[in-house]
Amino acid sequence: MALSGTDLAKQLAGYKSVDDHVTSGMVVGLGTGSTAYFAVERVGQKLASGELKDIICIPTSERTREQAESLKIPLCTLNEKSVLDVAIDGADAVDPNLALVKGGGGALLREKMVEVMAKKFVCIVDDSKLCKGLGPSFALPVEITPFCHMHTLRTIAALPEVAGCKAELRLGNVATGAKKDGDKPAVTDNGNYIVDLFFETPIKDVRAAAKALKNTVGVVDHGLFVDMTYQVIVAGKDGSCRVAGQGGDKPWW
Ligand SMILES: O=C(CO)[C@H](O)[C@H](O)COP(=O)(O)O
């Protein structure tokens, strides 16, 4: 079926990331979400056609593992391969320094563990994800341990580095927020909870916020991906595609 609008943009970015960055023999990180879906699909197509050979992939969620298995993509984990040639994933927001908010789908911990080990982390987005400053356009997810989670939520909300944010425990389905499971806390693939931080103004110092969140006892990790992105592939609904970062243009937004 021919795609249109945002889905077409996601497909363009996803396919281009694989066409540009994945070659035979590589270890490849597979991201999570509706944009990463198309990168995984492309890897599957190229393996099936024989255009790609001898690659092994590391999925960043159970959803992605299931998709990859259905496409017969060979998989392993970080336990077997600690270094990846490339990792490809979507994002919820991208600022002009190529810092990201990720974790809308609740997979941020595995995404960060895998993508930080990639020689090249390639981010794929439609142009609605571009922003001048991280915060207002998409809530920042923080993965926390279930133990005394409301205490940890209050501790996070009181950090000066995220001053002014509103912290909410994510309920229902971890990826969609759908309330099929009632109003129970959403549970990540790792058995943890997510607190979403809502901002009305951009986070002033993204690096300081990342450090403060990471240093908070009870926090497992957070969705700020700073100084990790090699390149961002940005696609538009009109079928346009541009690259920012290394090997591409200076961020233009
Ligand atoms: O971080 C993520 C999942 O945890 C996703 O990469 C992010 O939410 C973007 O998803 P989509 O491509 O569906 O907009």
109 and 14 part of one domain: yes
E-state strands within the chain: 27-30, 56-59, 84-89, 93-94, 100-101, 118-126, 140-144, 166-169, 193-198, 219-222, 224-225, 231-235, 241-245
Q: What is the ipTM of this complex?
A: 0.98
Residue 179, pLDDT above cutoff 90: no
Model confidence band, residue 183 (pLDDT cutoffs 50, 70, 90): confident
Mean pLDDT of 30-46: 98
Question: What residues contact 141, with CB distance under 8 A and at least 6 apart?
Answer: 101, 102, 103, 104, 106, 108, 170, 194, 195, 196, 197, 222, 223
244, part of any domain: no
107 lines ligand 1 (CB under 6 A): yes
91 lines ligand 1 (CB under 6 A): yes
pLDDT score for 156: 98
CATH number where 201 lies? 3.30.70.260
40 and 153 part of one domain: no
Task: Report the C-alpha gap between 113 and 111 in whole angstroms.
Answer: 6
Can you tell me which atom of ligand 1 is nearest the CA of 31?
Answer: 6
133, part of any domain: no
232 and 107 part of one domain: yes
Can you tell me which atom of ligand 1 is nearest the CA of 35?
Answer: 12
Nearest CA to ligand 1 atom 10: 33
Between 38-47, 140-149, 174-183, the lowest mean confidence (pLDDT) is in 174-183
232 and 116 part of one domain: yes
Question: What mean pLDDT is reported for the chain?
Answer: 96
122 and 154 part of one domain: no
52 and 99 part of one domain: yes
Reading phi first (left if > 0) and then psi (alpha if -120 to 50, else beta), residue 33 is in left
Model confidence band, residue 181 (pLDDT cutoffs 50, 70, 90): low
pLDDT score for 178: 76
CATH number where 23 lies? 3.40.50.1360
Sign of CA dihedral 197, 200, 202, 208: negative
156, part of any domain: yes
Mean pLDDT of 186-190: 96
Strand-pair partners of 88: 30, 122
What domain range includes position 189?
Answer: 140-221
122 and 152 part of one domain: no
Model confidence band, residue 2 (pLDDT cutoffs 50, 70, 90): confident
246, part of any domain: no
Query: What tens digit of pLDDT does each residue of 39-94 get?
Result: 999 999 999 999 999 999 999 999 999 999 999 999 999 999 999 999 999 999 99
Task: Report the C-alpha gap between 181 and 159 in whole angstroms.
Answer: 31
Greater pLDDT, 101 or 179: 101
152 and 179 part of one domain: yes
Residue 31, pLDDT above cutoff 80: yes
Mean pLDDT of 119-148: 98
Sign of CA dihedral 61, 66, 70, 72: positive
Nearest CA to ligand 1 atom 6: 90
- C-alpha of residue 17 to centroid of ligand 1, in Å: 15
114 and 144 part of one domain: no
Model confidence band, residue 202 (pLDDT cutoffs 50, 70, 90): very high
Active-site residue flag, 111 = yes
24 and 58 part of one domain: yes
pLDDT score for 4: 83
157 and 42 part of one domain: no
Number of folded domains in the chain?
A: 2
103 lines ligand 1 (CB under 6 A): yes
Mean pLDDT of 208-231: 98
Q: By percentage, how much of the chain surpasses pLDDT 70?
A: 98
pLDDT score for 98: 98
pLDDT score for 180: 65
Mean pLDDT of 136-156: 98
Task: Report the C-alpha gap between 181 and 191 in whole angstroms.
Answer: 15
149 and 193 part of one domain: yes
From the candidates 62, 111, 168, 200, give the one annotated as an active-site residue. Answer: 111
33 lines ligand 1 (CB under 6 A): yes
- C-alpha of residue 60 to centroid of ligand 1, in Å: 11
Nearest CA to ligand 1 atom 3: 105
Residue 226, pLDDT above cutoff 90: yes
pLDDT score for 174: 92
141 lines ligand 1 (CB under 6 A): no
247, part of any domain: no
Identity of residue 130: L
